[in-house]
């Protein structure tokens, strides 16, 4: 009887495991099926390299280059802001902070991760957007820069906690050895600890970026969504994610516009899959 129960439970768990993979495969197949349909009417190069996005015109113009560049610009901006702060914060927590400060900081970072993105977007809309407009004398504060700042807040918790983990798992002897050789605390951190934890820190950065590129709500609220090729951080951009979110509700099922939105989904999938695989490679290298 016990054996039988064991058997049933084992199979049930197996079923659960298979189910999740099954669903992922189904989703992926659906995405491919719906997305590739657009290439019957638009050449893939014209789709990826086209400079105008007028999906509801007759005939529709489906060029997503401005959207890809918009997503990349916002992500790069967020990375520039969040990587130094995030890694710095991780170093402070892992190496320098006294125990009590460390606990408070860690709780704070977790709290930051718990803020829903729509709330961050809303806060950004009423604080960063007017501030950016005033500080830089811009025609509008709805810019890539505002989006980048807000997204940096979202990437930071991921970067800090994973990078801190990586630093923590560097054997104590490395640091002790460095200090025994006469290195200062800073030299030990910079030359030894960071080098030793580098793959883990890179993985942290990659996962942080992965979170940024897939973020939708906050960017839709504060980047202005103008589908124009951006020339600076101070101009409005339209991201891939915001385009899908804004237009999916009304796209007629089976229309070119609908398929184009799925094709954007494929592009996003490929980008974040690439980022996650890179992060995974770094993580495995560490182990």
Partner 1 sequence: MPRRTLCILLALTLAISACSRAKKNSIQVKGSDTMVNLGQTWAEKYMARNPGDFVAVTGGGSGTGFSSLISCTCDIAMSSRNIKDKEMGLAEKRGITPNEIKVALDGLAVVVNPSNPVDRLTMDQLAGIFSGAIANWKEVGGANEEIVVLSREVNSGTHVYFKEHVLRRGDPASKAEFSPRALMLSSSQAIADEVAGNSAAIGYYGMGYISKKQKPVSVAPDENSQYVEPTIENVLGGHYPISRPLLLYTNGQPQGLVKRFIDFALSKEGQEIVLATDFVPVEK
CB 249 to partner 1: min, Å: 6
Among 70, 124, 236, 265, binds partner 1 (CB under 8 A): 236
Which CB atom, from 65 or from 85, has the smaller least distance to partner 1?
A: 65
Q: Are 240 and 68 in contact (CB under 8 A)?
A: yes
Report how far residue 52's alpha carbon sits from residue 270's, in angstroms, rounded to the nearest whole number: 22
Residue indicated by tokens 């058997």:
7
Among 197, 238, 259, 271, binds partner 1 (CB under 8 A): 238
| Site pattern 124..143 for partner 1 (x: CB under 8 A) | ------x--x-----xx-x-
Query: Residue 151 burial by CB count (10 A; 0-12/13-18/19+): exposed, middle or buried?
Result: buried
CB 54 to partner 1: min, Å: 6
171: CB partners within 8 A, 6+ apart: none
Which CB atom, from 141 or from 210, has the smaller least distance to partner 1?
A: 141
Which CB atom, from 224 or from 265, has the smaller least distance to partner 1?
A: 224
Q: Are 242 and 223 in contact (CB under 8 A)?
A: yes
Which CB atom, from 83 or from 142, has the smaller least distance to partner 1?
A: 142
Which CB atom, from 90 or from 227, has the smaller least distance to partner 1?
A: 227
Largest interatomic CA distance in the chain = 77
In the window 245-274, what residues touch partner 1 (CB under 8 A)? Answer: 246-247, 249-251
Which letter does DSSP use for residue 239 in this model? -
> Is residue 106 at the binding interface for partner 1, with CB under 8 A as the rule?
no
In the window 20-79, what residues touch partner 1 (CB under 8 A)? Answer: 52-57, 66
Report how far residue 185's alpha carbon sits from residue 191's, in angstroms, rounded to the nearest whole number: 10
Which CB atom, from 56 or from 80, has the smaller least distance to partner 1?
A: 56
Report how far residue 204's alpha carbon sits from residue 93's, in angstroms, rounded to the nearest whole number: 15
Element (H, E) at 54: strand 53-54
Contact residues for partner 1 (CB under 8 A)? 52-57, 66, 130, 133, 139-140, 142, 220, 224-228, 236, 238, 246-247, 249-251
């Amino acid at each position: 009887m016990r054996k039988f129960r064991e058997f049933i439970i084992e199979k049930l768990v197996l079923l659960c495991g298979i189910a999740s993979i099954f669903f992922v495969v189904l989703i992926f197949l659906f995405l491919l099926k719906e997305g590739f349909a657009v290439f019957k009417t638009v050449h893939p190069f014209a789709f990826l390299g086209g400079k105008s996005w007028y999906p509801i015109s007759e005939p529709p113009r489906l060029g997503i280059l401005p959207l890809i560049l918009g997503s990349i610009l916002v992500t790069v901006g967020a990375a520039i802001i969040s990587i130094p702060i995030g890694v710095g914060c991780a170093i402070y927590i892992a190496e320098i902070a006294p125990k009590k400060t460390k606990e408070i900081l860690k709780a704070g970072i977790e709290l930051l991760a718990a803020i829903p993105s729509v709330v961050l977007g809303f806060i950004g809309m009423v604080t960063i957007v007017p501030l950016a407009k005033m500080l830089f004398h811009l025609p509008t504060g709805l810019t890539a820069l505002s989006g980048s700042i807000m997204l940096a807040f979202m990437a930071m918790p991921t970067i800090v906690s994973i990078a801190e983990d990586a630093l923590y798992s560097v054997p104590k002897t490395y640091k002790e050895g460095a200090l025994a050789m006469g290195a200062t605390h800073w030299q030990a951190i910079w030359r030894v600890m960071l080098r030793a934890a580098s793959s883990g820190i890179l993985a942290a950065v990659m996962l942080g970026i992965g979170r940024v590129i897939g973020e939708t709500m906050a960017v839709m609220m504060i980047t202005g969504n103008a589908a124009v090729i951006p020339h600076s951080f101070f101009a409005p951009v339209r991201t891939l994610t915001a385009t899908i979110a804004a237009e999916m509700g009304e796209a007629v099922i089976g229309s070119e516009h609908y398929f184009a939105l799925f094709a954007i989904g494929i592009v996003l999938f490929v980008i974040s899959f690439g980022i996650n695989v890179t992060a995974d490679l770094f993580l495995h290298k560490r182990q």
